[in-house]
Structure 1
Amino acid sequence: MKKTLLPIIAMTVLTACETQTLAEYRPVVDTSRINSAKYERDLSECRNVAYAAEAEYKDRQAQEMGANMMAGILVGAIAGAAIGNGGNDIAAGAAYGAGVGAAGTDTELAYGGPRRIIDRCMSERGYAILNDIGRG
C-alpha cells in the first residue's frame, strides 16, 4: 500500500511548490528609466497573453495526464497479474501504475511557461528583464 501512495504524494508535493500566481508575477526590471503607467499597462497586456497560454497548457496537461494514467493502470495491472497471485496484486499494480503515469506528466508548461511568456513579451516591448527568464 505504501508503494501506491508514494507517487501520488510526490506529485501533490511537487504541484504544491507553485506558490506565486500568474497575477502576482512581476519580472524584475530596472525601473529608473521607465514610465510606470506604461509599464503596468504593458504588464497587464502581457499577462493576458500568458493567461491564454496557461489555459491551453492546462488543457493539454490534463489530456496528457489522463492518457498517462490509463497507460499506467494497464501496465501496472498486467505487471500485478504476472507477479502476484490475486486481485489485490492486480489492484495494487494498477494503482501504482496510475500514480507513476500521473507523476510522469510534464507540469512545467502549465506552471513555468506562462511566466516565461510574460518575460519575453515585456522584453519585446523594450524592457530589460534582469531575472532568469520565468523566475521573477
Structure 2
Amino acid sequence: MNFLTKTRSIGLIAVALLAGCAELEPLTEYRPVVDQQRTDMPRFERDLEACRAVAVQVEADYRQRQQEQMGANLMTGLLVGAITGAVVGGGTNYQRELTAYGAASGMAAGAAANDYSYDLVTYGPRRVVDRCMAERGHTILNDIGRG
C-alpha cells in the first residue's frame, strides 16, 4: 500500500467515525422542560415555534462553520504530520512509512480538534431556543440546551 492510499484510507476512517457520532432529536422536535401547571401552554407553543425558527438558522450557520473548520483541521493535521514524519524518517522506505504515519496521526488529531465544535453544533441551537423562551417569560427547568 503506498503513502497516498494509506493516508486516504485513514482519513476516510476518521471521517466515518465522526459521522457516526450520536445525534439528538431534530431541532424541530426539541422541547424545553417547563412546569405545565404554571405555563400558558398555547402561548408556550406559539413562542416555541418562533424560537425554533431562529435556532434553525443558527444551526445551519453552526454546521457550515463546523464543516469548514473540520476541513481546515484535517488538512493542517495532514500537512504537519506528513512534514514531521518526513523530517524524522531515515531511509526511503522508512521515511515513507513515517510520513504516512505522521499524516494519518495529524489527520486524526485534526478530526479530534472538532469536539468543541460538535458540542456547539449539537447544543448551541437548543440553548438559543431555551434563552429565547426565557426571554419571552417562560421558566425553563432543564439545563440550558439539554432539554
Q: TM-score under structure 1 normalisation? A: 0.85
State, as a whole percentage, how many aligned pairs show the same letter. Answer: 50
Could you tell me which amino acid in structure 2 is paired with residue 113 of structure 1?
G
Does 2:53 correspond to 1:42?
Answer: no
Q: Which runs of 4+ in 1 moved over 6 A?
A: none
Counterpart in 1 of 2:98? 89
**Which residue, out of 23, 28, 31, partners 1:26?**
31
Q: TM-score under structure 2 normalisation? A: 0.79
**Which residue, out of 92, 101, 124, partners 2:135?**
124
Alignment of 1:1-136 (within 5 A): 8=14, 12=18, 16-84=21-89, 85-105=94-114, 106-136=117-147
Aligned residue-pair number: 132
| 1:120 Cα offset (Å) | 0.2
Could you tell me which amino acid in structure 2 is paired with residue 110 of structure 1?
V
Structure of larger gyration radius: 2
| 1:91 Cα offset (Å) | 1.8
